[in-house]
């Protein structure tokens, strides 16, 4: 069962590898079935070059394993917490990509310095607070999801589809697994650009009117970027 969704989740995970966002067995992608609420995620500790669709693990919204012989990704509780609280998303990705993770390790949000950032993220990409010792020692992955949610109490998760977890790395999301991957790719690029921008001495944020223009021409009711025929 769930063979189509398992294939999609496999491809999302392999795309992380193709885009050089993961090495070894790091990272994970998942997708939620909009009809059943079930979540398919990669198995824990399986190399990307050996991964198969039939190895993907199916979980119910509470984390109970519905299908699959292997253990799910250890980050599954974080994914599930995001799905429970961000009802419009259908895919979640976590990586340890170098540039975004560098900002996470510094405990700093990724500022908006240019229109490349503004095309996908309507503001700085936030960095969560550090987890406490108690949060790490008790339900670490679930609490990782909780600190992400704290970062979005005053931030719209639709317009900023990603976050840095302090000392850990980035999580992104989207309407499905592949869009979550796309946001992970973009986040890595803008994290690199922001670092280089600061290295060159500029720390002036993008003007609000330019941020508005670039984000809103791609997103929302007045968007005009791209083709009406999505098959083109």
Joined tokens for residue 60: 């119910």
Asked if 44 and 63 count as a contact pair (C-beta separation under 8 A), the reply is no
Containing H/E element for 99?
helix 98-106
Q: Mapping DSSP to helix (H, G, I), strand (E, B) and coil, where does residue 66 land?
A: strand
- The active-site residue, picked from 119, 156, 212, 222, is 119
Our answer to whether residue 119 is catalytic in this structure is yes
Tokens 């969704």 belong to which residue? 5
Our answer to whether residue 140 is catalytic in this structure is no
Which ranges in the chain belong to alpha helices (H)? 3-18, 76-85, 98-106, 115-118, 133-137, 140-151, 177-199, 208-216
- The active-site residue, picked from 88, 120, 225, 231, is 225
Tokens 């795309």 belong to which residue? 15
What are the residues whose beta carbons fall under 8 Å from the beta carbon of 212, sequence distance 6 or more? none
Q: Known catalytic residues? A: 119, 225
């Amino acid at each position: 069962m769930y063979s189509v969704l398992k294939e999609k989740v496999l491809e999302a995970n392999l795309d992380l590898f193709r885009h050089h966002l993961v090495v070894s067995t790091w990272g994970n992608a998942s997708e939620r079935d909009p009809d059943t609420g079930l979540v398919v995620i990669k198995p824990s500790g399986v190399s990307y070059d050996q991964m198969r669709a039939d190895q993907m693990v199916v979980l119910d919204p509470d984390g109970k394993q519905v299908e699959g012989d292997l253990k799910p990704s250890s980050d599954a509780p974080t994914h599930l917490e995001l799905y429970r609280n961000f009802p419009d998303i259908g895919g979640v990705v976590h990586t340890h990509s170098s540039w975004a993770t560098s900002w996470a390790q510094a405990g700093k949000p990724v500022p908006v310095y240019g229109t490349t950032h503004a095309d996908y993220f309507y503001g700085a990409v936030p960095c969560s607070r550090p987890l406490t010792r108690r949060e790490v020692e008790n339900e670490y992955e679930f609490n990782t999801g909780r600190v992400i949610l704290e970062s979005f109490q005053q931030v719209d998760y639709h317009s900023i589809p990603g976050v840095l977890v302090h000392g850990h790395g980035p999580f992104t999301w989207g309407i499905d697994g592949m869009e979550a991957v796309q946001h992970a790719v973009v986040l890595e690029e803008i994290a690199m650009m922001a670092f280089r921008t600061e290295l060159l001495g500029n720390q002036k944020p993008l003007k609000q009117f330019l941020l508005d223009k670039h984000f809103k021409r791609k997103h929302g009711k007045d968007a005009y970027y791209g083709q009406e025929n999505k098959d083109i």
